[in-house]
Chain A
Amino acid sequence: MLESVLITIATAATPLLIAAVGELVVERSGVLNLGVEGMMIMGAITGFAVAIVTGSAWIGVLGAILVGAAFALLFGFLTLSLVTNQVATGLALTLFGLGLSGMIGEGFVGRPGVKLGQVDIPFLSDLPHVGRLLFGQDPLFYVSLLLTAGVAYFLFSTRAGLTLRAVGDNHDSAHAQGINVVAVRYLAVMFGGACAGLAGAYLSLVYTPQWVENMTAGRGWIALALVVFASWRPWRVLAGAYLFGGVTIGQLHAQALGVAIPSQLLSALPYLATIAVLVIISRNRRLTMMNTPASLGRPFVPER
């Protein structure tokens, strides 16, 4: 019982984790992309549609990643090359993604999807209590953990990661040092988009293998909140994602058990929890200021 609850928590947490780790890299480079929700829903529909058309969930995943990155490229072109307002452009990306996915998805409503198979490591997955949790989950679960570890290593132990953090801290200094600020940010933004696309594919190929309009239901926004909650640190994103996974699954179980609380209130819990967590974390202005990448959201026009 406990093991199966933990597994469902992992399923709820994984898309949040993937999207949030991607956005973390974007924000560490000094760019605020509020379009996570839009890229995620585009990932969801692309993954679903491509999987149905090709019959392969993996090709669906690949398609979702590419579409997420392509959407991010659009965002990058506007905010980095045309220096548009990042907040407004991110909103545009979300609105466009929600609209376009609804349009594309119309023919796919109600069709059975393709589910991404589970990893099943012989013997290990049969271990009592932890076998299925650790060795018998869907492949993207492992990808999400590797992604977190990889991003943590990249940011704090590689030269390229140092460059990325420098760009996010002070783009004028970075430019003066000869770092190509815009190029670094393009790469970061596209990485974030690829992650958001992947997270979307997780929803439509693993979490609930079907297409429902607006099926991301604010997860892209929660991922954005997680980055703030985690003070821009990868392992804390992981902790936060599992906390939210826990809240989501907890309320689903409560609904299933028929707790005498309106189901709508339970459904609202993840959103209310997000607000609560944001309030708690941002109360400490000092800490927020220390952790926030100093160039976050600021426009940059290179002088040549």
Chain B
Amino acid sequence: MPTTLENRASALLEVRGLTKLFGTLKACDGIDLTIGRGEIHALLGENGAGKSTFVKMLFGALEPAAGTIRWKGEEVSITSPGEARRLGIGMVFQHFSLFDALTAAENIMLSLDDSAPPGAVAARARELSQAYGLPLDPHAHVGDLSVGERQRIEIIRTLLQNPDLVILDEPTSVLTPQEADRLFKTLETLKAEGRSILYISHRLEEVKRICDKATVLRQGRVVAHCDPGQETAASLARMMVGDEVQPVVREKPGPAGETLLEVRGLSRKAAHPFAVTLHDISLAVQAGEVLGIAGVAGNGQSEFFEAVSGEVLQERADTVRIRGRDAGRLDISGRRLMGAAFVPEERLGHAAAPAMTLSQNLLLSRYRTDARAFLSRFGFIRTPALAAAARRIVAAMDVRKSGEDPEANALSGGNLQKFVIGRELDRAPMVMVVNQPTWGVDAGAAARIRQALIDLAKAGSAVLVISQDLDELFEICDAIAVMHHGRLSAPMPIAQATYEKVGLLMGGAAPEAASEPVLEAV
């Protein structure tokens, strides 16, 4: 693409009226956006606002239904990611587009359009990784790497193409606060080199901190173009959500009640090559308490959840105790019968069977605890009772759906999450263990879910929340412990916890170091 003097002065990227339909849903509806050279431009919006769809169209991974894209002053049609890369557009995906079975160097090679020999690619990658302070081992298999390391591969892979525009989709959602700081430095370097960045996030503080301009999307439409420096986090949030989100109300923690959930010295060998080994995890959650477990994804949270929920049994019965009784040898149904309830991270395919209806999915986790209500003799399913209970949950959690009893598939992320949380709350469990309660959920649903968890604790239950979202943990927890490489730190009462301390533990600092004043760690 030849660049002439005139258009060099103009914007790098001008998008007009970009539209994308999925069936009848307008995921993007006439989006306008302009990015200048050397500009860090934020794309703000809730989950489901159309941000990812929009950038996938810029990267040629999705085909727009209408609209124009002008790149360096000329109208272009970006038909494939290869085309986008040739133009000078690079992208770092939210759920990385990496190949676990291949090495870092092979992963990088695959996105280069020239077929350079592997040795040369590795050398160039190493060079770049030093230049931008992104350490990387080209020969490591991606499957063995941490999320942060994977992100570095994605970034280096993108930079190797010498792009003019780098798109980053929610890059900090998988990082510790300290890792995020380092990423921001890299972004500043890129900006100083005259490159532009399209930065997608829903974290308002960091957007205010690093971005020059912002475009806010809501339900597929642009609702505002603004200068984030001139806005407050609250005003940005209002633009994103459309109206005020009810703040979550939490009272001061009361006196410690009896211990309802206890884990003692839980260790577990990794069950498969990419799993994490758990080492000697202990914790206790009292009645009325919300305990949070922070940590970067892939540090053993899912393995821990499987062990606590009983999807995987422990060797010793007293490793997990529920309401003062040994539960380590009981399966998930046995633990539910003791009054515990569980909500895993994946909504579709774990918490719910995608192609089954809501009432069938209700039966999924409650056929034992509520056998009398939902089953008659010989295991016949009492469909009317199930339907009534499903209606009750839908009403209690304000689940928006189309049709009387739709398949789980057909619900939006936020609404399905409200349903699977509501399904357990409906039982009024004494112990509730939730993994990533509001991951990928819109602000309204997230607030509702968080409030429900707090209310459950207030009513005298013990609540254990595993989350990567520090804002969420600070909002709802009475104490926070941190999981790193399959080990769990001692819980910090919320009054003593800071983002910095928790962040350092998430990055693997020894617990003592976290309480010291710290310079640049790692």
Contacts known (A162-B109, A178-B82); A169 close to B102, Cβ less than 8 A: yes
Measured between beta carbons, the chain B residues less than 8 angstroms from A179 are 110
Pairwise interchain contact A163-B93, C-beta atoms closer than 8 A: no
Considering the complex, give the chain A residue whose CB is closest to the CB of B96: A173
* B99 CB within 8 Å of chain A: yes
Pairwise interchain contact A178-B272, C-beta atoms closer than 8 A: no
Most buried by A among B84, B96, B97, B115: B97
Number of A-B contacts (CB under 8 A): 60
The B interface is mostly helix, strand or loop, or mixed, namely loop
Contacts known (A175-B61, A178-B82, A304-B63); A165 close to B101, Cβ less than 8 A: yes
Pairwise interchain contact B98-A173, C-beta atoms closer than 8 A: yes
* B80 CB within 8 Å of chain A: yes
CB proximity of B138 to chain A, nearest CB, Å: 14
- Selecting from A17-25, A58-66, A190-198, A285-293, the interface stretch reads A285-293
* B259 CB within 8 Å of chain A: no
Pairwise interchain contact B109-A173, C-beta atoms closer than 8 A: no
Interface size class of A (residues with CB under 8 A): 20 to 34
* A32 CB within 8 Å of chain B: no
Measured between beta carbons, the chain A residues less than 8 angstroms from B85 are 178
Most buried by B among A165, A170, A172, A177: A177
Pairwise interchain contact A289-B272, C-beta atoms closer than 8 A: yes
* A166 CB within 8 Å of chain B: yes
Pairwise interchain contact B81-A178, C-beta atoms closer than 8 A: yes
> How many residues of chain B get a CB closer than 8 Å to chain A's CBs?
25
Measured between beta carbons, the chain A residues less than 8 angstroms from B494 are none
Contact check: which of B80, B82, B99, B273 meets A290 at CB < 8 Å? B273
Pairwise interchain contact A173-B97, C-beta atoms closer than 8 A: yes
Measured between beta carbons, the chain B residues less than 8 angstroms from A178 are 60-61, 80-85
Pairwise interchain contact B272-A162, C-beta atoms closer than 8 A: no
* B100 CB within 8 Å of chain A: yes
- Chain A 157-190 interface residues, beta-carbon cutoff 8 Å to B: 159, 162-163, 165-166, 169-170, 172-179
Map CB proximity to A onto B87-108 as digits: 1 under 8 Å, 0 otherwise.
0000001001111111000100
Map CB proximity to A onto B55-76 as digits: 1 under 8 Å, 0 otherwise.
0000011110000000000000
Pairwise interchain contact B100-A162, C-beta atoms closer than 8 A: no
Q: How far is the CA of A175 from the CA of B110 in the complex (A)?
A: 12
Measured between beta carbons, the chain B residues less than 8 angstroms from A159 are 109, 115
* B409 CB within 8 Å of chain A: no
Pairwise interchain contact A173-B61, C-beta atoms closer than 8 A: no
Q: How far is the CA of A174 from the CA of B106 in the complex (A)?
A: 13
CB proximity of B459 to chain A, nearest CB, Å: 42
Measured between beta carbons, the chain B residues less than 8 angstroms from A169 are 99-102
Q: How far is the CA of A282 from the CA of B111 in the complex (A)?
A: 34
Considering the complex, give the chain B residue whose CB is closest to the CB of A287: B273
Task: Contacts A165-B101, A166-B106, A176-B93 known; list 10 others, CB within 8 Å.
Answer: A159-B115, A169-B102, A173-B97, A174-B99, A176-B97, A177-B97, A178-B84, A294-B101, A304-B62, A304-B63
**Which 7 pairs from chain A and chain B are nearest by CB?**
A178-B81, A176-B97, A173-B97, A178-B82, A169-B101, A169-B99, A159-B115
